[in-house]
């Protein structure tokens, strides 16, 4: 039974935070699907991930390629991911269902704290997931470092 971790981005942008979280997930031995809502935005994120992190290579691919099933990190806009992930990271308000949270090791929901609509959507997702019995944690970087602010 997994848990949903909400990451309220206020200090660093998605392209800086996502590689850190992906590194931790890969370090745990998990395959990851990064789920977005817009193909062009996922292409942009793909390019950003190829540029870093500075200390190492972050293996990943864009869904739709011949080696999707072998990708440790697969960027997609689809609900189903060919790489059989243990962790799904959602960006830009991508949907995640309570049954997915229950079946995965971890779900990470990254949202832009400077966008009121993104904050409202994250609050709605929190209510939906915790209301369905999913374990959840809320993490904020408002102080300059990540701190757990709530748990359900």
Model confidence pLDDT, tens digit, residues 119-150: 999 999 999 999 999 999 999 998 889 999 99
Quote the tokens at residue 47.
């390019």
pLDDT at 138: 97
pLDDT at 104: 97
pLDDT at 141: 92
pLDDT at 139: 97
The rounded distance, in Å, linking the Cα atoms of 149 and 141 is: 10
Mean pLDDT of 7-21: 94
Residue 50 has pLDDT above 90, yes or no: no
8 Å CB contact between 151 and 137: yes
Domains of the chain, with CATH numbers?
Answer: 3-151 (3.40.50.10110)
The rounded distance, in Å, linking the Cα atoms of 12 and 52 is: 15
The H or E element spanning position 70 is none
Quote the tokens at residue 43.
């292409």
Cα torsion at 107, 113, 117, 119 (round to 10°)? 50
8 Å CB contact between 34 and 74: yes
8 Å CB contact between 53 and 19: yes
pLDDT at 57: 74
pTM of the model: 0.94
Helices (H), the chain: 14-27, 39-50, 98-103, 116-131
Residue 53 has pLDDT above 80, yes or no: no
Mean pLDDT of 96-100: 96
Residue 46 has pLDDT above 70, yes or no: yes
Whose tokens are 């470092």? That residue is 145
8 Å CB contact between 149 and 7: no
8 Å CB contact between 22 and 73: yes
Mean pLDDT of 102-108: 97
């Amino acid at each position: 039974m997994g848990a949903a971790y909400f990451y309220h981005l206020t200090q660093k942008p998605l392209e800086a935070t996502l590689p850190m979280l992906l590194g931790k997930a890969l370090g745990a031995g998990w395959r990851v699907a990064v789920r977005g809502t817009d193909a062009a935005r996922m292409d942009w994120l793909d390019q950003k991930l190829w540029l870093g992190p500075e200390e190492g290579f972050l293996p990943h691919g864009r869904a739709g390629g011949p080696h999707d099933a072998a990708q440790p990190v697969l960027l997609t806009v689809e609900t189903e991911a060919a790489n059989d992930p243990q962790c799904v990271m959602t960006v830009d308000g991508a949907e995640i269902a309570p049954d997915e949270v229950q079946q995965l090791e971890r779900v990470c929901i990254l949202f832009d704290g400077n966008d009121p609509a993104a904050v409202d959507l994250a609050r709605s997702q929190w209510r939906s997931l915790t209301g369905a019995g999913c374990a959840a944690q809320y993490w904020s970087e408002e102080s300059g470092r990540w701190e757990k602010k709530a748990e359900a």
